[in-house]
Amino acid sequence: MRRTHRVPRALLAGLAGVALLGTTAVLTANPAAAAAGCRVDYTISSSWPGGFGATVAVTNLGDPVDGWRLTWSFTAGQSITQLWNGSYTQTGAAVTVTNAAYNASIASGATASVGFNGSSTGTNPIPAAFSLNGTSCTGGVVSPPTSPPVTPTTPPTTPPPARQGPCDIYSAGGTPCVAAHSTTRALYGAYNGPLYQVRRSSDNTTRDIGLQTAGGVVNAATQDSFCAGTNCVITILYDQSGRNNRLTQAPPGYWKGPAAGGYDNLADAKAAPITVGGQKAYGVYIAPGTGYRNNNTNGVAKGDQPEGIYAIVDGTHYNQWCCFDYGNAQTDGIADAPAIMETVYFGADKQWGWGAGNGPWIMGDLEWGLFSGDKAGYNNLASINHRFVTAMVKGEPNHWAIRGGDAQSGDLTNYFDGKRPSGYNPMKKEGAILLGIGGDNSVSGRGTFYEGVLTSGYPTAATENAVQANITTARYHQ
């Protein structure tokens, strides 16, 4: 269901005039210098029992502005449950949406948009009135009269909105994370535990690597200090979901790894340095022979149960072999049937399935084949070329999809959405989790992993779009 309501509104003069200086005072600037006006487009993009998705677009018809606050009131008991491209508070029916750091400035004729999911009971009328920075928008472009000079006022006492991570967004969408792995940042706004563990070769001692702050980015200085002058490997990828679905050194399967006892190698902890949010971090560098696995998980989809998976990977580090995977796999390490896996694959392998061009592609490893669509072999699946890639695969009974995008900016692309391949309905997933290898412990693939999750339930596109917006604000950078 899609309803669009265009509401012409006047923009508050001097929209750029609210600034926080230090932590002591808020200064209100003279608003007389700016002509103002705007248009608000409120679109209900989707509806379902008890809920809806919507987009609110503000087009600036006046002089450029820097910093905005949009307010409205619902009239039928609606509530926002999650919002992206900004932050929000709601008290009763009254909603206040504030810009994100990256969309605070709106040039003349430009538009800033926020999207949200909401709950509703019964009717869902469109709000009748909007205000921008405290002034009701009336539809004209105005030049306000001269205002008094700058005067200090008391700073606001309302605390900032709570930090939000991808798993908070999935949970709000009804598809909570059952596994959440990252070496770069917290995937829940309140998480304050370890991300991963390293072991140094000089004395074989280990150290957990945690966060700078709760819900924040990794404290890579801990690793740098502990591993100075010696080699380190990543021994554990901790699970932030609370289900203890951690990943450790993969055991031998049908194919044996190169380490003692046929186990796979552990990743070099120093091999993939990047920054996240301007802070140093490290990824999991998967060279051929490297792999992680957990064959005894808690809460991961089995059989034909629905699930969603995403991974952030290095879009420049891949090869044409099997299999740089992350996701749901069989528990015995043997490729003894189709449909016992469901993972994200990233690379340029053409042995089973492939897409357009030379790759790399996001595909699904469903066992007995990599799939780029609803049939084996070629499907018209576009290559994806970004420094950091968001790779998504999700599945439910006789339906699955592939989505992806640039983890640094922009929206997701729908690469495939359709029925299961022949022989893969129903699925027979077994609920193990792996990283960097195929289900039978194929160890020829390569790639670099930064973060990823598995969910319970089939995520909506709106939820995934909100997750992508969260990922882009994390500021992955080389």
Tell me the catalytic residues: 367, 440
Instruction: Report the distance separating Cα 297 and Cα 249, nearest Å.
Output: 15
Torsion 406-476-86-458 (CA) sign: positive
Structure tokens at 18: 């609210």
Q: Give the separation between CA 48 and CA 26, rounded to whole angstroms.
A: 42
- Cβ atoms of 442 and 322 within 8 Å: the answer is yes
CA-CA-CA-CA torsion sign (346, 349, 350, 353): negative
Instruction: Compute how many other C-beta atoms are within 10 angstroms of the C-beta atom of residue 222.
Output: 17
Q: What's the rounded Cα separation, in Å, for the pair 393 and 359? A: 17
Instruction: List, in sequence order, every beta strand (DSSP E) within 272-381.
Output: 273-276, 279-282, 284-286, 292-294, 307-314, 325-329, 342-347, 353-354, 361-365, 370-371, 377-378
CA torsion sign for 437, 441, 442, 444 is positive
Closest by CA position to 469, among listed 115, 46, 78: 115
150 burial class (0-12, 13-18, 19+ CB within 10 angstroms)?
exposed
What are the structure tokens assigned to 474, written together? 């994390």
Nearest C-alpha neighbor of 153 from the set 306, 21, 351, 323: 21
Distances, alpha carbon 427 to alpha carbons 89, 304, 373, 422, 432, in Å: 42, 5, 15, 11, 14
